[in-house]
């Protein structure tokens, strides 16, 4: 994912973070750090899509 971000390419953030957090929530495990990381990747993806036009 870091290589993708460094190249300005799309990431697999939705798949990676979405899957891990969904599994954790099924068992009642909080994921505050993953949630924060997903927030940052989401912001990157939003900015990237705005500039890609």
Q: How far apart are CA 24 and CA 16, in angstroms?
A: 12
**In the prediction, which pLDDT does 53 show?**
62
Residue extents of the structural domains in the chain:
10-47
Confidence of residue 23 (pLDDT cuts 50, 70, 90): very high
Q: What percent of the chain has pLDDT over 90?
A: 77
**In the prediction, which pLDDT does 36 show?**
94
pLDDT digits (tens, 9 = 90+) for 37-53: 999 999 999 999 898 76
Predicted TM-score (pTM) of the model is 0.77
10-44 exposure pattern, b = at least 16 Cβ within 10 A, e = fewer? ebebeeebeeebeeeeeeeeebeebeebbeebeeb
Q: What share of the chain is helix, strand, coil (3-state, %, to 5)?
A: 75, 0, 25
Q: Please tell me the total number of residues recorded for the chain in this structure.
A: 53
Residue 14 has pLDDT above 90, yes or no: no
């Amino acid at each position: 994912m870091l290589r993708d971000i460094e190249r300005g390419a799309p990431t697999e953030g939705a798949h990676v973070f979405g899957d891990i957090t969904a599994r954790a929530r099924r068992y009642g495990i909080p994921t505050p750090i993953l949630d924060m990381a997903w927030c940052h990747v989401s912001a990157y993806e939003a900015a990237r899509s705005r500039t890609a036009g």
